[in-house]
C-alpha cells in the first residue's frame, strides 16, 4: 500500500512542474536574497496546482501531516515549503499539542520570514489556541537562542484579536526590545501594530513605558496606525 504522504508529494511535484516559470523563478529567488531555488509559481498558481494534487485524497491524520511537511521541507524549491504551511494551517484541527515539536523543527530549518511567519500566525497560533497548555512553550521560544523561534513566539497571537494575552505579548516584546536582529525588531513592531486594532490605548501605554528600550524600527512599526485611533 502506498504511503499517503509520498503519493501526495509526488502528485504535488508533478502538478508544480507543469506550471513552472523559469523566468519568474529567478526573480522570486532574488526577492528572497537567493536563500532558496524556486519553480517560479505565483501564490494563486501554486494554490491552484495544489488543489489538483489534492483532488480525491482523503483528509490527513496527524502522522501524515508530519510526513508531508517534512517531505516538503526536504525538497529544494521553496514552493514545497510554502505549500506545507498552507496544508498544516488548513488542517490545524487535526494535530494534538505534541505537534508543536514538529512545527519547531520546521521553523528552525530552511528558516526565512515567509515560512516562519505563516507557521507562526496560522499553525503555532492555532495549536496554542486549541491546546492552551502549550503556551508555556511560547514562553520558552520567546527566550530561545534561535531568533526564528523568538519571532514565532512574538507573532503567534497575530490573529487572536480580543483574545490576545496582552501580558505575554508585551512581555515578549519587552524582553526582546534590545535584540539586534532586524527580523526580531520588525516582529515586535508588527505584533504591536496588529494589537492596535484591538486596544490602541494599551499599545500607546506600552510604547510610553518602554521609552528608548525599543528600537526606532519597532516603535515606528508599532505606531503606524495609532494616529488614526
Regarding predicted confidence, which is higher, 4 or 2? Answer: 4
> Could you report the per-residue pLDDT of 66-97, keeping only the tens digit for each?
999 999 999 999 999 999 999 999 999 999 99
> Could you report the per-residue pLDDT of 208-220, keeping only the tens digit for each?
999 999 999 999 9
Q: Report the interhelical angle of 43-54 vs 4-18 (nearest 10°).
A: 140
Nearest to 65 by CA among 98, 19, 24: 98
- State how far the Cα of 151 lies from the Cα of 89, in Å rounded to an integer: 18
- State how far the Cα of 24 lies from the Cα of 121, in Å rounded to an integer: 27
- State how far the Cα of 39 lies from the Cα of 28, in Å rounded to an integer: 9
Give the pLDDT confidence score for residue 4 in this predicted structure: 85
- State how far the Cα of 229 lies from the Cα of 201, in Å rounded to an integer: 9
> Could you report the per-residue pLDDT of 101-142, keeping only the tens digit for each?
999 999 999 999 999 999 999 999 999 999 999 999 999 999
CA atoms within 13 A on the CB side of 135: 11
Q: How far is CA 220 from CA 117, 154, 197, 216, in A?
A: 20, 17, 16, 6
**pTM as predicted:** 0.95
30 pLDDT exceeds 50?
A: yes
Nearest to 65 by CA among 46, 84, 79: 84
> Could you report the per-residue pLDDT of 184-227, keeping only the tens digit for each?
999 999 999 999 999 999 999 999 999 999 999 999 999 998 87
1 pLDDT exceeds 60?
A: no
Output the average pLDDT for the chain.
96
25: Cβ contacts below 8 Å, ≥ 6 apart:
37, 38, 39, 40
Domains of the chain: 96-228 (1.25.10.90)
- State how far the Cα of 13 lies from the Cα of 107, in Å rounded to an integer: 22
Please tell me what DSSP assigns to residue 123. Answer: I
40 pLDDT exceeds 80?
A: yes
Q: Is 206 within 8 Å of 195 (Cβ atoms)?
A: no
Angle (CA) 139-143-145 rounded to 5° is: 140
Q: How far is CA 145 from CA 65, 92, 109, 151, in A?
A: 27, 27, 14, 11
Amino acid at each position: 500500500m502506498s504511503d499517503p504522504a509520498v503519493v501526495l508529494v509526488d502528485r504535488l511535484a508533478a502538478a508544480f512542474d507543469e506550471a513552472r516559470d523559469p523566468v519568474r523563478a529567478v526573480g522570486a529567488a532574488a526577492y528572497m536574497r537567493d536563500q532558496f531555488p524556486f519553480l517560479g509559481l505565483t501564490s494563486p498558481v501554486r494554490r491552484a496546482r495544489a488543489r489538483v494534487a489534492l483532488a480525491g485524497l482523503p483528509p490527513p491524520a496527524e502522522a501524515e501531516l508530519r510526513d508531508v511537511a517534512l517531505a516538503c521541507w526536504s525538497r529544494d524549491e521553496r514552493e514545497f515549503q510554502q505549500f506545507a504551511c498552507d496544508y498544516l494551517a488548513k488542517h490545524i484541527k487535526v494535530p494534538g499539542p505534541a505537534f508543536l515539536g514538529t512545527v519547531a523543527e520546521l521553523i528552525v530549518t530552511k528558516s526565512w520570514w515567509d515560512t516562519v511567519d505563516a507557521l507562526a500566525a496560522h499553525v503555532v497560533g492555532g495549536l496554542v489556541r486549541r491546546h492552551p497548555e502549550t503556551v508555556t512553550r511560547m514562553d520558552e521560544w520567546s527566550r530561545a537562542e534561535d531568533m526564528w523561534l523568538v519571532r514565532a513566539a512574538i507573532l503567534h497571537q497575530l490573529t487572536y484579536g480580543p483574545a490576545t494575552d496582552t501580558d505575554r505579548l508585551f512581555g515578549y516584546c519587552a524582553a526582546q526590545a534590545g535584540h539586534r536582529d532586524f527580523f526580531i525588531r520588525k516582529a515586535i513592531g508588527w505584533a504591536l501594530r496588529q494589537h492596535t486594532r484591538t486596544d490602541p490605548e494599551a499599545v500607546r501605554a506600552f510604547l510610553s513605558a518602554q521609552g528608548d528600550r525599543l528600537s526606532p524600527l519597532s516603535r515606528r512599526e508599532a505606531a503606524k496606525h495609532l494616529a488614526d485611533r
